[in-house]
Structure 1
Amino acid sequence: MSSATYRTLLHTPGVAAFFLTAAAGRVGIAMTSLGIIWLVHGQTGSYALAGLVTGGFAVAEALVGPQLARLVDRFGQTRVLPPTLLAHAAAVAALLAVVTLGSPNWLIVAGGVGVGATIPQLGALSAARWSALLRGDRSADLPTAFALESLSNGLAYLAGPVLVSAVGASGHPGLGTVLAATLVVSGGLAFAAQRRSAPPPASGAAERHRAGRSLLRPGFAVLVGINLAIGVFFGAMQVSVAAFAVLHGAAGAAAPIYAVSSCSGLLAGWLYGLRRWRVAPRVQLALVAAGAALGCLPLLAADSLPGLGFAIALTGMAVPPILVLSSVLAEAAVHRAVLTQAFTWLNSASAAGSAGAAAVSGRAVDAFGAHGGFAVAAAATAVMAVLAVAGVRALQRQPSREERDE
């Protein structure tokens, strides 16, 4: 195995420019939610209001993101992305204004909704470019390309929260939100400027209608369900790990445990992308999902922080391959004219699952302790494994590449 595969991909004409600009924007996206919490709490002193605003942001992003993706597939990335970014900048400015001026709570929540509704899905746009560039003879390189995307996303969500927390703790709670918006808008505009690598929009209404039906195929529905389950897993783990650390008198241990999970996932994603796997992606997904479900079992018996760290590292290693394989199978399941929508729906499913799980796992922790939250996470991985194993047949009946491109 050699990292030359990653280098080769990045040396493809036009790739480094769009990949690196999208990576910068992703760091800003990873900072936005936590930046809103710092901003609202710093100005109002209320965590409850900060949670409401962040919840409005997350719901708006999950609901509006696929609709923006539909416009991208119809009119093209270079036409839709710039006005979306300008709208995002205006929405962030409006949120800063209403928070600073001490406006009513409902107006502040509406400001968070505006920010979420306009934030661009740079990950989906970047994945769509990979699919367009690696079509034909280079389609076997797609798993490596999507692994590279997963690494970029993982690094963004590792660095972004740390950066925004450092800025927020410096005494300027609004600065993190400004910095996040600056990265999103500047990175997004630089990404949109790379016109040569942008996939062409759908050519006509008939093609869009035919392509849209591919989003209803059973195979794609399975992938949406798997991403919803993995979102539930993430949401439950965030609450449960914090509760476990507090119950063991070491609240500060939660952050290192999260870091262990992130680092193990990054390592697994990097190693996965280095190899050409002979096993069919749908079979790989079933095996890795089953492994993730089994890997969650030690969480139910963990009674010490080191034991929890080991179990977290074990489960974290399964996540990047699942996300990569979901992208690979989604690319194979839907028409090329709706790829951006497909990738965005997967992201929205994960976000929706994470948001819902935070409330459910919180109740489970209150009732049964931290292990109740871990039980929610384990149940999510079990559902994910069942979907992956049961969906092998549906994922097997994928259209040929020629049929997807018609």
Structure 2
Amino acid sequence: MASTVTTEPSKDSSASSRPGYGQLLRTRGAWTFLLPGFAARQPFAMLTLSIVLLVQHTTGSYGAAGAAAAVTGVSMALCAPSSGRLADRYGQRAVLIPGVLVHTASGIALTVLALAHAPLWALFAAAVPTGASVPQIGPMVRARWGVKLKGSPLMTTAAAFESVTDELTFVFGPLLATALCTAVNPAAGLIAEAALTLLGGLLFAAQKSTQPQVAPAGHKHVEHASALRVPGVRVLIATFLGIGSVFGGMQVSLAAFSESIGEPGLNGVLYGTFAAGNMLSGLVCGAIAWKAAPQRRMTVAYAALALVASGLWAAHSVPVLAGLGLLVGVCIAPALITGYTLVEGLVPAGARTEAFTWLTGAVALGQAAAVTVAGRLEDSVGDGAGFLVPMGGTVPALAVLLALRSRLATRPRAHTVARGVGHREPVTVD
């Protein structure tokens, strides 16, 4: 049986046979990054919906709104892994501070252009840096947990806790964005997102003591292998693309459905119900001491997600849509949690922030494609056609997962992978 040897044993690494949230939250120093991390990631749940609502208001087209949001998502998906790789190499603070400044300025520019009824190409030009500079707070928090727990059984609980935290933001974020855009001003959501990103991002960056250490100055020549070289990470990227299609397809389609029945404010409630199902399911997943292998849990959870998501297009009433949305949320959480948990066993510590950003970027890319396709379907076909997008994204991803699930099997590593660095990192031995 593999065991973990460290030069400095820590109480943070110990865990009972049934780890729980209480034990996780008693981890020394955890609250110093959890609280500012929660504040910093809150705007992420507001960004896409705020863009959709603002651009739809100024152009009258869900297709244009979805396209602008898609450009933001694609930019984030393409740039997030580079951001994670830079954070692994130079430190999170060095990446965060310039990132939040650029994001704030770009978000304000996009808002001004939309209100000025600028052409779509100009909105795209502002959407690119807005998405490219989205701070990767979730992956950075997960990387900090990895440093604190160092292979402890609490890592599964931490992954569940982070999923719940993400979904808690997706409960409040859409509600806040919808309320600001419909009751205050169509631009209020995006302005609030930019302001919260600036404040929360700088507060999180100030927590220097808990960020993962980077290689000393004398070892900057060390080559860092990309997390994308790990076959299991590529499989997870495919599955997370499908998860992103659910988020994006539901965001546009729920907004269009609410508008079609004359209750635009209902959009935030319906999306919040979906996110609440995700959050509650995540809480339960983190409280269970799982005996099944994570790759098996991933397969079962994803199959359930694809099945339920395939029924969304048939819902034409508020109660049915709310119920199905709740079930979709319940199914997403186990897949997300297990995917992030698998990263710890698949990827060496020095590349985990990058790995997490690949997964986050995959969700964003899937979401970007979904909002584009769903927007065009709602404009050209209507009648809930956008709800076909979650099925179109999850079913092919499930096929990939079933065909390549063996690549998700974690194997013990006999040594650290960073060449030229002394063995001061935890080393797994047989």
TM (norm. structure 2) is 0.81
Kept after mapping to 1: 8 A contact 2:170/2:272: no
Kept after mapping to 2: 8 A contact 1:26/1:123: yes
Deviates more, 1:288-297 or 1:251-260: 251-260
Counterpart of 1:355 (choices 368, 389, 400) is 368
Deviates more, 1:73-82 or 1:31-40: 31-40
Describe the SS at the equivalent of 2:211.
coil
Deviations 1:162-217 (A, max 9, x none): 213322334444443332222212211111111121101245456433x32x4222
Q: 1:170 to 1:369 in 2, by over 3 A?
A: closer
Describe the SS at the equivalent of 2:277.
helix
Note the 1:215-226 alignment, pairs <5 A: 215-226=228-239
Match of 2:156 in 1: 143
Calculate percent identity across the aligned residue pairs.
35
- 2:403 pairs with 1:395: no
Kept after mapping to 2: 8 A contact 1:215/1:334: no
Describe the SS at the equivalent of 1:290.
helix
Kept after mapping to 1: 8 A contact 2:378/2:385: yes
Q: Distance in 2 between matches of 1:89 and 1:364?
A: 31
Match of 2:339 in 1: 326
Letter in 2 for 1:347: T
* 1:64 Cα offset (Å): 1.6
Match of 2:135 in 1: 120
Describe the SS at the equivalent of 1:120.
coil
Deviates more, 1:365-374 or 1:334-343: 365-374
* 1:146 Cα offset (Å): 1.3
Deviations 1:230-265 (A, max 9, x none): 112333334455566677887776554433322222
Q: Distance in 1 between matches of 2:67 and 2:250?
A: 20
Deviates more, 1:246-255 or 1:376-385: 246-255
Note the 1:298-337 alignment, pairs <5 A: 298-299=311-312, 302=315, 304-337=317-350
Match of 2:206 in 1: 193
Q: 1:52 to 1:247 in 2, by over 3 A?
A: closer
* Larger helix proportion of the pair: 1
* 1:396 Cα offset (Å): 1.4
Deviates more, 1:59-68 or 1:15-24: 59-68
- 2:180 pairs with 1:167: yes
Kept after mapping to 1: 8 A contact 2:179/2:265: no
Q: 1:186 to 1:306 in 2, by over 3 A?
A: closer
Match of 1:87 in 2: 102
Match of 1:76 in 2: 91
- 2:54 pairs with 1:14: no
> Which structure 2 residue ranges, 5 or more long, are not aligned?
1-17, 418-424
Match of 2:420 in 1: none
TM (norm. structure 1) is 0.85
Match of 1:66 in 2: 81
Kept after mapping to 1: 8 A contact 2:108/2:194: no
Q: Distance in 2 between matches of 1:396 and 1:226?
A: 15
Letter in 2 for 1:142: M
Letter in 2 for 1:286: T
Q: Distance in 1 between matches of 2:187 and 2:380?
A: 36
Q: 1:401 to 1:93 in 2, by over 3 A?
A: farther
Q: Distance in 1 between matches of 2:381 and 2:116?
A: 42
* 1:359 Cα offset (Å): 3.5
Match of 1:384 in 2: 397
Cα RMSD (Å): 3.2
Letter in 1 for 2:347: V
Describe the SS at the equivalent of 1:383.
helix
Q: How many residues end up aligned between the 2 structures?
A: 399
Q: 1:337 to 1:14 in 2, by over 3 A?
A: same
Deviates more, 1:279-288 or 1:367-376: 367-376
Describe the SS at the equivalent of 1:400.
coil
Q: Distance in 1 between matches of 2:164 and 2:178?
A: 22
Q: Distance in 2 between matches of 1:371 and 1:34?
A: 18
Q: Distance in 1 between matches of 2:157 and 2:232?
A: 22
Describe the SS at the equivalent of 2:209.
coil
* 1:391 Cα offset (Å): 2.9
Kept after mapping to 2: 8 A contact 1:54/1:112: yes
* 1:111 Cα offset (Å): 2.1
> Which structure 1 residue ranges, 5 or more long, are not aligned?
none
Q: Distance in 2 between matches of 1:95 and 1:362?
A: 19
Match of 1:183 in 2: 196
* 1:330 Cα offset (Å): 1.7
Kept after mapping to 1: 8 A contact 2:180/2:189: yes
Q: Distance in 2 between matches of 1:105 and 1:299?
A: 30
Match of 2:244 in 1: 231
Kept after mapping to 1: 8 A contact 2:342/2:410: no
Match of 1:276 in 2: 289
